[in-house]
Amino acid sequence: MKLDFTNVNLDKIDSYENKALDAFDTLMNKSGEGNDFLGWIERPVDYDKEEFDRIKKAAKKINENSDVLVSIGIGGSYLGIKAVDVACDSYFNSKRKVKLIYAGNQISGQYLSELLDYLKDKDYSLNVISKSGTTTEPAIAFRFLKEALEEKYGKEEAKERIFATTDRQKGALKDLADAESYETFVVPDDIGGRFSVISAVGLLPLAAAGLDIDKFMEGFKEGMDEYTQKSFDNPAIKYAAVRNMLAEDGKDIEVLVNYEAKLKYIAEWWKQLYAESEGKDGKGIFPVSVNNTTDLHSVGQMIQEGKRNLFETVIEIDNQESDLTIKEDKDNLDGLNYLAGKTMSFVNKQAMEGTTIAHVKGNVPNIRIIMDKVDEKEIAKLFYFFEIGVGVSGYMLGVNPFNQPGVEEYKAQMFKLLGKPGY
């Protein structure tokens, strides 16, 4: 994976070097705010090998008795899983034995009703992911799905099809899992939700879907080896510094851009990571995303000629798994014969290059992240890059990158309206 800052004016970047390296020291020395949530840094090498083996065994069991695994979670218990799941699957011809379906990531009665109807003629299992067990969205979904599972299979067999990923020792879900003898996996105390895909939170559903979690962990290890080096040439540190430089120059919105639809949920995961980590104390670089070339025909106008308070980070994929070559047509009614002999990936890349030229000309700086390909290993390395980057960037901004106090406010107001005791 490479970073390209060609389309960013770096004349002032040297003045950010010491601040970025100091923030990196704060992160790696665990001396800053939120330092009790930094278990993800060493996790690629310091993880529970016994639990890792149990995850593989549970995944094998799910593959033997289920067509579907319903992953029940929200935020960090959902986005990282779906990002890897979607990016590594076929658009239309999935060869996976077990299909991952998601629940508990919103409060739509129609969605859950249709899911329950869909599951009636499927063999399925549940993986409920919640540290407390009382988070509203997954708790509601689990209540309905657990009842349906028990009606379908009976209480005893249902127990064998429910896997709880929760706190090691306490909480409503842990108590229920112990009482019902569900197999349990751990949401680590020292890893926040948006960083937790490297734990059982992500590993169990991904393994059940047939993804290679050994390769996934290998990618995190490669990321750890590369992005924990103290140097201003470290791409993660340089990325954090450039973001802060641009923000101080009035570019306080970052647009993550992809030209491959499979990466859509990578962007959704990234938005949570950066929004929850940086958006506090009246500070933060606002993260948004676009899927091109689709969105060039919608918000592209705003990016090109709207308010000049944004910059773009473009993810480029060097090698596609499959491609098509455009053929010549004798009538040429669509006027495309000038593209004859060219591949669609070549055309897509020229669209990306042309868009970059146009946007830079329109005063939108462009950072380029270049990935060799999309697989478990490369995605994990990208995740680790963004995680180190957000830790450094958050400390540079002067915030605690590892809490999210603002998330609690909407909950308090919602619970008050719903009449929850104590509110």
Q: What is the pLDDT of residue 306?
A: 97
Q: What is the pLDDT of residue 410?
A: 87
Looking at 167, 190, 211, the residue that finishes a domain is 211
Query: Are both 67 and 179 inside the same structural domain?
Result: yes
Residue 13 lies in a domain: yes
Q: What is the pLDDT of residue 406?
A: 86
Residue 417 lies in a domain: no
Asked if residue 38 lies in contact with residue 30, where contact means CB atoms within 8 angstroms, the answer is: yes
Which of 19-33, 49-63, 155-169, 399-413 is least confident? 399-413
**Model confidence band, residue 36 (pLDDT cutoffs 50, 70, 90):** very high
**Is residue 245 pLDDT above 90, yes or no?**
yes
Query: Are both 121 and 101 inside the same structural domain?
Result: yes
Residue 407 lies in a domain: no
**Is residue 339 pLDDT above 90, yes or no?**
yes
Q: What is the mean pLDDT of residues 60-82?
A: 97
Q: What is the pLDDT of residue 229?
A: 98
Provide the token pair at 201. 């939170």
Share of the chain above pLDDT 70, in %: 100
Query: Are both 261 and 156 inside the same structural domain?
Result: no
Sequence-separated (6 or more) residues with CB below 8 Å from residue 306: none
Query: Are both 76 and 103 inside the same structural domain?
Result: yes
Query: Are both 226 and 203 inside the same structural domain?
Result: no
Number of independent structural domains in the chain? 2
- Looking at the annotation, which residues are catalytic? 276, 411
Q: What is the pLDDT of residue 365?
A: 98
Please give the residue range of the domain that contains residue 244.
2-31+217-397
Q: What is the pLDDT of residue 411?
A: 87
**Model confidence band, residue 257 (pLDDT cutoffs 50, 70, 90):** very high
Q: What is the mean pLDDT of the chain?
A: 97
Q: What is the pLDDT of residue 409?
A: 85
Domain holding 247: CATH number? 3.40.50.10490
Share of the chain above pLDDT 90, in %: 97
**Model confidence band, residue 281 (pLDDT cutoffs 50, 70, 90):** very high
Query: Are both 206 and 69 inside the same structural domain?
Result: yes
Q: What is the mean pLDDT of residues 210-218?
A: 98
Sequence-separated (6 or more) residues with CB below 8 Å from residue 283: 397, 398, 399
Looking at 180, 211, 242, the residue that finishes a domain is 211
Sequence-separated (6 or more) residues with CB below 8 Å from residue 158: 146, 149, 150, 152
Cα distances from 409 to residues 154, 406, 415, in angstroms, run 40, 6, 10
DSSP annotation of 191: B
**Is residue 408 pLDDT above 90, yes or no?**
no
Q: What is the pLDDT of residue 327?
A: 97
**Is residue 177 pLDDT above 90, yes or no?**
yes
**Is residue 321 pLDDT above 90, yes or no?**
no
Residue 145 lies in a domain: yes
The angle, 0 to 180 degrees and rounded to 10, between the axes of the packed helices 235-248 and 376-397 is 50
Helical residues (DSSP H) of 29-78, grouped into ranges: 49-65
Residue 411 lies in a domain: no
Strands lying side by side in the sheet with 253-258: 2-7, 366-371, 310-317, 253-258, 286-291
Query: Are both 202 and 71 inside the same structural domain?
Result: yes
**Is residue 279 pLDDT above 90, yes or no?**
yes
**Model confidence band, residue 114 (pLDDT cutoffs 50, 70, 90):** very high
Query: Are both 268 and 180 inside the same structural domain?
Result: no
**Model confidence band, residue 153 (pLDDT cutoffs 50, 70, 90):** very high
**Is residue 313 pLDDT above 90, yes or no?**
yes
Q: What is the mean pLDDT of residues 48-76?
A: 98
**Model confidence band, residue 288 (pLDDT cutoffs 50, 70, 90):** very high
Query: Are both 291 and 378 inside the same structural domain?
Result: yes
Query: Are both 180 and 326 inside the same structural domain?
Result: no
